[in-house]
Amino acid sequence: MGEVEEKCRRAKEASGMLAVAGTEQKNMALLAIAGAIRKNSATVLEANKKDLAAAAALPRSVAKRLELDAGKIEAMAAGFEVIAGFPDPVGQVAEKWELKNHLAVSRVRVPLGVLAFIYESRPNVTAESSSLAIKSGNAIVLRGGKEAISTNKALVGIMQKALGASGLPADAVQLIEDTTHEAAAELMRARGYVDVLIPRGGAGLIKAVVENAKVPVIETGAGNCHAFVDESADLGMAEKIILNAKLSSPYVCNALEHVLVHEKVAGKFIPALERKLKENGVEVRGCERAKKIAPGLKLMSEEEQYLEYLDLIIGIKVVRDVREAVDHINKYGTHHSDAIITQNKENATLFAKEVDSCCVYVNASTRFSDGYTLGFGGEVGISTQKLHVRGPIGLRELTITKIVAEGDGQIRE
């Protein structure tokens, strides 16, 4: 039996025990993990240094996602405490009704079972997804990228020891240490062990998982996020939102990648925005109309309008109106997070209703597309698909429901 099958088997066995664990016991385990991460922070940082040294030749965006420091480790630990404080979704009655024959029917939340994660160089995903899995009663099998293997091994070792000491099965958290494509492919085929597979990373990774997996997949889409500046927009507000959405963290899926500007305000707004973006080290590209307004822009190709840059690059396009903005986003976007800056309520309503994305913002930054920020407590990804869940995947979204019918001898006539 190879590593992937063996660790999936262990997770499957542990999932049964975790599914029936009480809320108090799960919370105690989460708090124990938080304390253990703080106590062993030096070990995690040392492992992260090894990964960073090995990843020196990788793109800046990869290194930024990989790098840990004392503040990020404290945030990891605090994340487990936050999840411990959230209501336990397991056992919640989603709805209840009674039939004419007095059979009482309930829809009750239960864990999914075994979650598998295939993701890239983001050690925070190792911690956050594990905390949510434990609280929602699910075992988890992690397969991170080779860039973070030392960091992930350190984190999973810490979590397993704390789980065991808390009376929960240490096998409920597993790490596939084989980072080859063959191991990932085997995990995608682990029917009978894995109940749901969630990929988290770039468009290439997500596409490979969706097209090749034999187990159910929740698709977490890439983030080609847009902001549309309407003719009625407060341009000062628009600039503030765009700068935040691009600069606060350029290497994540909710970062802004493209700006659409109404033609009636383009002449005034684009030069000012270009100047501010360039002052902050952003390479600014534009369509032909935008380049005529601001000649310093690099011409943006048709193909680029589909891109998630994940870098200090942004594209600008001039559009006729809100209708063209909506149509553009639905064609070129990734159904992730898109915003409109406007003072026109009708345009705001049209945009919110017709943009086919899991998160839509009116006069706010796309950077709010985060489970913690939106009040979910945390997330294992942002689902851009339309089955089971759409948007941030938090605790409740890691459960399904079963029907429980209670009677006193009823039979079907």
Choose among 10, 82, 3, 192: nearest CA to 18.
Answer: 10
Express each pLDDT in 200-220 by its tens digit. Answer: 887 788 889 999 999 999 988
Mean pLDDT of 342-357: 98
Q: What is the pLDDT of residue 121?
A: 77
The average confidence (pLDDT) of the chain is 95
Residue 62 in tokens: 């990869």
Express each pLDDT in 280-314 by its tens digit. Answer: 999 999 999 999 999 999 999 999 999 999 899 99
Express each pLDDT in 173-187 by its tens digit. Answer: 999 999 999 999 999
Q: What is the pLDDT of residue 252?
A: 87
Nearest-angstrom CA–CA distance, 39 and 25? 21
Express each pLDDT in 362-388 by its tens digit. Answer: 999 999 998 888 988 788 889 998 888
Is 80 exceeded by the pLDDT of residue 60? no
Is 90 exceeded by the pLDDT of residue 122? no
Which of 59-73, 206-220, 228-242, 391-405 has the lowest average pLDDT?
59-73
Res. 26 pLDDT band, cuts 50 70 90? very high
Nearest-angstrom CA–CA distance, 270 and 297? 10
Mean pLDDT of 40-51: 96
Q: What is the pLDDT of residue 120?
A: 84
| Cα-based distances in Å from 1 to 155, 172, 213, 380 | 25, 19, 20, 29
Identify the bridge partners of residue 225 per DSSP, sorted by sequence position: 256
- Domains and their CATH numbers in the chain: 3-218+393-406 (3.40.605.10), 225-368 (3.40.309.10)
Is 90 exceeded by the pLDDT of residue 25? yes
Q: Are 119 and 125 in contact (CB under 8 A)?
A: yes
Res. 4 pLDDT band, cuts 50 70 90? very high
The whole-model pTM stands at 0.87
Angle subtended at Cα 21 by Cα 400 and Cα 198, rounded to the nearest 5 degrees: 40
Q: Are 17 and 150 in contact (CB under 8 A)?
A: no
Residue 355 in tokens: 């943009």
Q: Characterize the bridge pairing of strands 139-143 and 114-119.
A: parallel
* Tokens 């930024």, located at residue: 64
Q: Are 226 and 139 in contact (CB under 8 A)?
A: no
Express each pLDDT in 98-110 by its tens digit. Answer: 999 999 999 999 9
Nearest-angstrom CA–CA distance, 84 and 138? 15
| Cα-based distances in Å from 111 to 29, 108, 135, 213 | 17, 10, 10, 21
Q: Show the 3-state SS of the chain.
A: CCHHHHHHHHHHHHHHHHHCCCHHHHHHHHHHHHHHHHHCHHHHHHHHHHHHHHCCCCCHHHHHHHCCCHHHHHHHHHHHHHHHCCCCCCCCEEEEEECCCCCEEEEEEEECCEEEEEECCCHHHHHHHHHHHHHCCCEEEEECCHHHHHHHHHHHHHHHHHHHHCCCCHHHEEECCCCCHHHHHHHHCCCCCCCEEEEECCHHHHHHHHHHCCCCECCECCCCEEEEECCCCCHHHHHHHHHHHHHCCCCCCCCEEEEEEEHHHHHHHHHHHHHHHHHCCCEEEECHHHHHHCCCCEECCCHHHHCCCCCCEEEEEEECCHHHHHHHHHHHCCCCEEEEECCCHHHHHHHHHHCCCCEEEECCCHHHCCCCCCCCCCCCCEECCCCCCCEECCCHHHEEEEEEEECCCCCCC
Choose among 69, 94, 105: nearest CA to 396.
Answer: 94
Torsions phi, psi for 79 (to 5 deg): -60, -40
- Tell me which of 220 and 44 has the higher pLDDT: 44
Q: What is the pLDDT of residue 11?
A: 98
Q: What is the pLDDT of residue 62?
A: 75
Q: Based on C-alpha coordinates, what's the Rg of the chain?
A: 23
Nearest-angstrom CA–CA distance, 366 and 344? 19
Nearest-angstrom CA–CA distance, 280 and 9? 50
